[in-house]
Amino acid sequence: MDNLKTTYKNSLALLTDLYEITMAYGFWKNNKHRQRAVFNLFFRNNPFQGGFAVKCGLDYVIDFLKNFKFSDSDLSYLAELKGNDQKPLFDPEFLDYLRNMPFECDVDAIPEGTIVFPYEPLIRVKGPLLQCQFIESALLNFINFQTLIATKAARITIAAKGDPVMEFGLRRAQGVDGSLAATRAAFIGGCAGTSNVLAGKKFGIPVLGTHAHSWVQAFDSETEAFEAFANTLPNNTIFLVDTYNTPKGIDNAIAVTKKTEAKGHKINGIRLDSGDLAYFSQLARKKLNEAGLSHLKILASNDLDEHIVASLKQQDAEIDSWGIGTKLITAYDQPALGGVYKLSAIEKNDGQWEDRIKLSEQSVKINIPGLQQVKRFFKEGQMVGDMIFDERTDLSGTVRIIDPVDPTRSKILDKKNLECEDLLKPVFRKGKCVYKNETIHHLQKRTSEQLSLLDKTIKRFINPHRYPVGLEESLFKRRLELILKHKEEAQH
């Protein structure tokens, strides 16, 4: 599905930062634009101080790259940009080059819905240096945001322990695409549905909803409002019971439900949106059961997140499903994932790949060189460790992984006694998409299956256990050699 193309209609080639274009221009001016390079997109820290992340956003990347082309309008705009001397920033010949430039990169990516960890390449781009550099910002935009929201949704569904979680965040989302892309990611992360009708149409996500307090306020009494709503939608009725007085609202909902169901209809349930949700849900369940309405579900909303849901579960709240808005759709407690996109190798004139590394005063910001791939190991149906390795390396026999930040942490992985798979899959080859699109329901299923393979200590919210991810030993040594080499050169 061309989600971006159908939403925005126009070319998105300029969805980039200016420095990407000025670097591309520099590569062209210095005849380096055709030199092949490898870039990796990854993040350095798990979001929400958690133990994992859920990869999301690949469908947007595919859509963007399949339609990557500069329009006449794009190039006219670039031609108008001027430097500090008021002369054009770019040569007309460069703009002509962009006009006729086909996308030619190889792209490999970890599928959406896969559980991922820091430093693992979520996307690897190999191709002409100019093109690899140009698409950096767009790819980071798609992957950072949707991975963040999918992870938040997964955490909330873990807290809900199997109860349906509904995404109710449209009105608090950060812009139109902040609602559409986030709703998509929330569903992949585990949400059962959304209140966002446009997202339901675009992505095939179930749409769900009740009524607002204004519905009750628009009538002379709460009972009249409930009766009118039940008569209007007898096959899709959930009563919001806290407009005036929650206990009385529950009683009114019970009375209207009995009258409506006597006509042969079935009411879905009630919603609580304020107050002590543990207390009121228990009170509601007691009243509903005593009235012979045990089949009615209790939905809760009210600025919920995974921590509040977990707390309500511990309090034995009688809540059957959860409506999560602001704190899911905005990733309230962490505004960005912090993913980065770094050059790791460049092809020389003789066709050999030369590793490249970026140093930093902070060791956590030193990138990993080479042509990277990730191999995941399993034992008895559980994930036991991930190895970041260079595709040019012979991996026969037992392997050792070393933490990229803390070299005192290492782990031996015996390939003979463990199952394993490579996580990066081919997506584009020479600019042509070779990846089979997956339905959003399949992606959601993958997330659920992946979470079941992860030890529960890694999924806990407070001080989660650290899943073993490391560099294959020879890659670790190669990285260290490059660090020492560049540091020594800097001293002379």
* Co-location of 406 and 283 in the same domain: no
CA angle (380 as vertex; 374, 382 as ends), nearest 5: 50
Whether 294 maps to a domain, the answer reads yes
Structure confidence at residue 490 (pLDDT): 75
Structure confidence at residue 487 (pLDDT): 83
Structure confidence at residue 361 (pLDDT): 72
Q: DSSP letter for 36, please.
A: E
* Co-location of 254 and 313 in the same domain: yes
Q: Which of left, alpha, beta for 315 (phi over 0: left; psi -120 to 50: alpha)?
A: alpha
Number of domains in the chain: 2
Tokens describing residue 372 = 């990277």
* Co-location of 380 and 414 in the same domain: yes
* Co-location of 366 and 450 in the same domain: yes
Tokens describing residue 118 = 């820091």
Pair 337, 47: CB distance under 8 Å: yes
Structure confidence at residue 486 (pLDDT): 86
* Co-location of 177 and 144 in the same domain: no
DSSP string, 196-220: -HHHHHHH-PPB-----HHHHHTSS
* Co-location of 201 and 239 in the same domain: yes
DSSP string, 223-280: HHHHHHHHHH-TTS-EEE--SS-HHHHHHHHHHHHHHHHTTT----EEEE-SS-HHHH
Domain's final residue, options 273, 308, 329? 329
* Co-location of 323 and 343 in the same domain: no
Q: What is the CATH number of the domain that holds 259?
A: 3.20.20.70
Whether 218 maps to a domain, the answer reads yes
Per-residue pLDDT of the chain (492 residues; tens, 9 = 90+): 566 666 666 789 999 999 999 999 999 999 999 999 999 999 999 999 999 999 999 999 999 999 999 999 999 999 999 999 999 999 999 999 999 999 999 999 999 999 999 999 999 999 999 999 999 999 999 999 999 999 999 999 999 999 999 999 999 999 998 999 999 999 999 999 999 999 999 999 999 988 999 999 999 999 999 999 999 999 899 999 999 999 999 999 999 999 999 999 999 999 999 999 999 999 999 999 999 999 999 999 999 999 999 999 999 999 999 999 999 999 999 999 999 999 999 999 999 999 999 887 777 788 999 999 999 999 998 999 999 999 999 888 789 999 998 999 999 998 888 999 999 999 999 999 999 999 999 999 999 999 999 999 999 999 999 999 999 999 999 999 999 988 887 777
Q: What is the CATH number of the domain that holds 456?
A: 3.20.140.10
* Co-location of 165 and 114 in the same domain: no
* Co-location of 62 and 182 in the same domain: no
Q: DSSP letter for 155, please.
A: H
Give the residue numbers spanning the domain of 171: 161-329
